[in-house]
Amino acid sequence: MGKPSDKAPPDIESLPLEGLSWKNPQETEASIRRAYAYAEERAEQAVQWYLKNKGWKAFWSRSLRISAILLTTLGGLAPIVGSTGWLKSQSFDYEPVVKMLGYVFLALAAACVGLDRFFGFSSGWMRYITTALALEKSLSEFRMAWAMTLAKLGGATPTEEQVQSMLQKVKEFVAYVDGTVEEETRDWVTEFRTSLSDVDRTAKELGKAARPGAIDVTVTNGMDAEGGFDVALDGMNVRAGVRGTKYHVGYVPPGPHKIEVSARVGGQAFGASELVNVGPGEIAKATLALPFRKAQP
C-alpha cells in the first residue's frame, strides 16, 4: 500500500470559452470545434481531478481501517492473555495491566474509525470513484453523440438550426458536468456537517462516560490487622497501614477493577481481593474479609 504523491492536484477551475465568431461558415465551423473542445476539456479536467484526488482518500482510508482491525484484535486478545497467568511473576502481577491495555487498544481502534468518519476518507474515496465513473460515462456518450452529428452532416457546412442544436448539446453537457461536481460538493458539505454534529455529540457522551468514580473499601475484620491493612488497585499499591475498617479510593477510571487488601495478623500475612465494576461518576463498594480465624479465648 504505497503512499500517494505529496503534490496535490489543483482545484477544478472554470475554463474560459473565448474566440467564438459566427461571421462566416469557416469561422462558424471553427467556433463549433472550439465549443466542443471546451466541453471535452471541462469534463476531462473534472475526471482527472477526482481520479488523482482519490489517492489520498484511499491511502488514509485503508491505513485507518486496517489499524482499527489490528487494534480491535489486540484489544480482544489482551484480556485472554492476561487471564492465562503467563505474565504473573513473584514481584508484580501484570494481569491487570494487560487487561487495561485491552481497553486502550479498543479505544484507539474506535479513534481510527472516528477519524475516518470525521475526515470522510472512506466515504470520500467511494464518492470520488463514483463521480469520476459517472463523468467518464457521460463524456463517452457526448463524444459518440457528437460523432453521430458530424456523420449526419457528411462534411457539409451546418445550417443555423444545426449550429444551434450542436451548441445546445455542448451547453447541456457542460451543465451536466458542473451539476455533477456541484452535487458531489453538496454531499461532502452535508457529510461534513453531520460529522461535526456526531463529533460534538460523541465528545459530550465520552465526557460523561469518562468521569472518574470511586470505590469504598470495607474490611470487616480490619481492626484485627497488625499495623493496619494495605490497599492495592489493579496491582498498584494505593495506601499502606490503613487503620480501622474503611478506606475510600478516589479518581478511579470507569470499568472493572481489582481491589486487594493485605495485612499481618498474628505474625502471618493474609490477603483478600474482589473485582469491582465502577460506573462513570459512581461510587462502587467492595466488602472484604481477611481470611484468618480469631484465636479462641
Which long-range contacts link 271-274 to residues 24+ away (Cβ below 8 Å)? Answer: 272/219
Cell of 72: 480491535
* Total residues found in the chain within this entry: 297
Whole-structure pTM value:
0.61
What's the pLDDT score for residue 8? 43
What's the pLDDT score for residue 245? 94
* Local confidence pLDDT in tens for the 297 residues of the chain: 445 444 444 566 666 666 666 667 777 788 888 888 899 999 999 999 999 988 888 899 999 999 999 999 988 887 777 666 665 554 555 666 777 788 888 889 888 988 888 888 999 899 999 999 999 999 999 999 999 988 988 878 888 888 899 999 999 999 999 999 999 999 989 988 888 887 788 778 777 877 899 999 999 999 999 999 999 998 889 999 999 999 999 999 888 999 999 999 988 999 999 999 999 899 999 999 999 876 545
What's the pLDDT score for residue 1? 45
